[in-house]
Structure 1
């Protein structure tokens, strides 16, 4: 359920950088429908080139990309256009990287999966009032499942290695992986 959000007048250019093509495409369409002029990139190199060519007013950048760290893009954007508003997305949230992202110029730091409304609220937040809590947050079971899936993918779908890193018995992990995602 999307809410109508009115964009402030002025430059509505938005750069999206994420190596998850399906997520990038969905977010790109959603942001265009909400009035942004969207460019997208799926690597750090392409993101840096886009910032160098024409620094956008807004950016949404994934923290970990196949060819490097999305914070390099945030830093480049902040140095080229200090008034730009950037949001960092990540499935690997921790306090240290959140602090680093803000120091480099990000205005917010969101955990994946984030929907378009969450992203827009973070991009347009003025800091006068705390953002409203999400209308339908993920369940704790879903958050756990997402984390396990991400570690599994990072371990190149190796069940034994994933189980070792998660400090979990291999058979327990196999049962979890065989089930459907919780809601």
Structure 2
């Protein structure tokens, strides 16, 4: 099968990865699945996918951004979509800088992901809203930017933000986006 229809899914949630894989297989993609960075690196030794879907937060507080970087270095033409339940402006910007073509917040379905593969160029037609960003949203985005910087290490993130680790954990639990 040609690389243009080979899809690599890097997702540590086995049930979600299986569901996503089945959905793409019904759309005539050949799908390979990795649960993390090292497993994906092993698959790249024998496969050349044209597409990849990468979860931002993997087991062990591993960042999917490292996977995006590795995939882009392996093949700069690979279409990489980052999918996350922990969306923030900071991680979105870094994902695009590292080689992702799109960044989608969960819940996203197969239609959304496939559309993201086809929407690689920017658009000046995106509507700019007049709504200002709330303090809570700014705080949330700052927390997630620092989380990404620290590879999702809660203790180090709390130290950098100048707050107690339990306070940060409560904020993350209260705002969970899954």
Q: Give your verdict on TM over 0.5.
A: yes
1:109 counterpart residue number: 103
Q: Which of 58, 80, 84 in structure 2 is aligned with 1:86?
A: 80
- Kindly report structure 1 stretches of 4+ aligned residues shifted beyond 4 Å: 128-132, 161-164
Classify 1:164/1:55 alpha carbon distance in 2 versus 1 (closer, same or farther; 3 Å).
Answer: closer
- How many residue pairs get aligned? The number is 134
Cα RMSD over matched residues?
A: 2.9
1:22 counterpart residue number: 15
Classify 1:48/1:164 alpha carbon distance in 2 versus 1 (closer, same or farther; 3 Å).
Answer: closer
1:52 counterpart residue number: 45
Q: 1:128: Cα distance to partner?
A: 6.9
Taking structure 1 as the reference length, the TM-score comes to 0.64
Q: Which of 65, 70, 79 in structure 1 is aligned with 2:64?
A: 70
Classify 1:93/1:164 alpha carbon distance in 2 versus 1 (closer, same or farther; 3 Å).
Answer: closer
Taking structure 2 as the reference length, the TM-score comes to 0.66
Considering Cα pairs closer than 8 Å and 6+ residues apart, tell me whether 1 or 2 has the greater RCO.
2
Partner Cα separation in structure 1 for residue 3 and residue 56 of structure 2: 27
Q: 1:50: Cα distance to partner?
A: 1.6
Stretches of structure 2 lacking an aligned partner (at least 5 in a row): 127-153, 155-165
Q: 1:11: Cα distance to partner?
A: 2.0
Structure with the larger helix share: 2
Q: 1:52: Cα distance to partner?
A: 3.4
Cα deviation per residue 1:115-140 (whole Å; 9 max; x = unaligned)?
110010001224376899xxxxxxxx
Stretches of structure 1 lacking an aligned partner (at least 5 in a row): 1-8, 133-154, 156-160, 174-183
Retained in 2: the 8 A contact 1:51–1:76? no
Classify 1:95/1:167 alpha carbon distance in 2 versus 1 (closer, same or farther; 3 Å).
Answer: closer
Retained in 1: the 8 A contact 2:3–2:48? no
